[in-house]
Structure 1
Amino acid sequence: MSVVAERPVVAEESRAVRWWRRPWVGPLALVVVVFVAVSVPRYLTLDPAQSLVPPVEGFAPYYPMLVAHVLFGSVAIVSCCFQVWPAFRRRYPVAHRWIGRAYVFAGVLPAAVLATVIGAKSPFGPVARVSNVLLGLVWFGCTLAGWRAGRARRFGDHRKWMVRSFVLTISTVTNRVWGVVAGVVLGPQLETTFGGNEQYMTSTIAGLTTWLGWVVPLILAQLWLDRRPKKRARAAGRSGVPA
């Protein structure tokens, strides 16, 4: 009797996660595809002159490590689009697990380790270096915590840690958005605030964008995670169903 009564609920839950109820999935995938298509090919040439990051003198492994970071990061950013797609997770749980393994072990973890090393050698100044190293450590920690929670079948914790990991992965895109904003605001001040020193202005913009690119999304994600239980409780109260 209880099985029959529960079936409509399951069907309704399935309908609730159809793609058209998550309109952000398509735009997110489009942004990621465009970002990877524009950013990655220049590093596949293995030509340091094509890099968007200036060379670092006195540290020969910097460019090879940067290329490896970009490739591992591309695996992470592409695979995470599937991992945060509710309908995909529900319909293809086996694929979700395998893509999740690729996200963790062929994407985030190696990319985060490399990020801490090359981040410490960033040519954009000490403010950007501190941000890059801290981002790499937090990114690694959140992802590892999410994987361990999933292995322990603590799926609520797994989801929360992976939401944090996701926003840190996407921060490479939000970083570019902040870069455009900072460039528009600070660019006209080159001759005044920065005394005509382009390197000083570039380091200032890099310092701002590296911090804003991951700290702001992480704070917003945490606020969203904190509000979800209250929202579910209110919805349950209105429907008469226990939360």
Structure 2
Amino acid sequence: MSVIAPQDVSRSRWLQVGWAFMLLGAMLAAANAVLFMSIDAYGHPGIKSRFIATEIAGWMHTLGGAIAVVLGPWQFLSRVRVRWPRVHVWTGRMYLLAVLSGALGGLYFAPTSVGGNPGVIGFGILAVFWLYTGAQAYGSARRRDFVAHRRWMIRNYSLTFAAVTLRLELGLLQLGGLNFDVAFPIVAWSSWVLNWLVAEMWLRRK
């Protein structure tokens, strides 16, 4: 009879709590994105005017990102992968299609970012990395290299989760006294670079 160590139980509980907060943040960010595109007076007018002017690209980016950020946490549940592998496969395909939509929309809008040159470069690199890590995750799954697939999916979702950290960091910076024009170029980088570093630290530990 195997005995589960107390530290393993504690670690499992912390992982469950972290997963729940990740899903909650994802759902709030997704709702925010949909409201941004649906309600006229909701959101920053400078960003909104660009998204509404090219509504197809606007919905590609916001809806693609919203679907991806909500589907992502479910892909990391081992019980889903083990008990319902086809569910995992098909939701994974939906996730990557959503990433493709969101990243292409992001590439379209990056050159005209209201964050100036830092925003143009930061969001442009994010969109490219988002596409690249998604392609690597898909390719490794097709090769049945599931260890590499899992690692690339962790990297990819860390970039998807920028939808959450961007809104959180932007709010905190503005509460700290920075106006939007100063805060937005900062989060154009910090919202995804910090996520990426955390993902790489996690993978290194594993």
Larger deviation, residues 210-219 vs 57-66: 57-66
Deviation at 1:172, TM superposition (A): 1.0
Give the unaligned 5+ runs of structure 2. none
Counterpart Cα distance in 2 of 1:226 and 1:158: 15
Verify: 1:73 aligned to 2:65, yes or no: yes
| Aligned residue in 2 for 1:227 | 205
Secondary structure at the residue paired with 1:145?
helix
What are the equivalent positions in structure 2 for 1:178-189 lying under 5 Å apart?
Answer: 178-187=169-178
Q: Which has the larger radius of gyration?
A: 1
Q: Which residue of 1 aligns with 2:35?
A: 41
Distance verdict in 2 for CA 1:59–1:29, change over 3 Å: closer
Q: 2:109: which partner in 1?
A: 118
Q: How many residues align?
A: 199
Q: Residue 22 of structure 1: SS of its match in structure 2?
A: helix
RMSD of the TM alignment (CA)?
2.7
Encode CA deviations 1:34-81: one digit per residue, 9 max, x unaligned: 332343134135x4x434351588998544422321111111111112
Structure 1 letter corresponding to 2:86: V
Unaligned runs of 5+ in 1: 1-7, 188-200, 229-243
Give CA deviations for 1:62-110 in whole Å, capped at 9, x if unaligned: 44422321111111111112112222222211100000000011x1011
Q: 8 Å contact 1:124–1:202 — kept in the other structure? A: no
Matches within 5 A, 1:43-58: 43-45=37-39, 47=40, 49-54=41-46
Equivalent residue runs for 1:19-34 within 5 Å: 20=13, 22-34=16-28
Which aligned pairs between 1:77-226 and structure 2 lie closer than 5 A? Answer: 77-105=69-97, 107-187=98-178, 201-226=179-204
Please give the alpha-carbon distance, in whole angstroms, between the structure 1 residues aligned to 2:142 and 2:79.
Answer: 22
Please report how far the alpha carbon of residue 215 of structure 1 lies from its aligned counterpart in structure 2 after TM superposition: 0.2
Q: Percent same amino acid among aligned pairs?
A: 24
Question: What corresponds to 1:192 in structure 2?
Answer: none
- Are the structure 2 counterparts of residues 202 and 42 from structure 1 closer, same or farther at C-alpha, using a change threshold of 3 Å? closer
Distance 1:226 1:129, change over 3 A: same
Q: TM-score, normalised by structure 1?
A: 0.73
More helix by share: 2
For 1:28 and 1:87, how far apart are their aligned partners in 2? 17
Give the structure-2-normalised TM-score. 0.85
Q: CA-to-partner distance for each residue in 1:132-172, whole Å, 9 max, x for gaps?
A: 11100000100110010001001111111100001100111
Q: Are the aligned partners of 1:25 and 1:85 in contact in 2 as well (CA < 8 Å)?
A: no
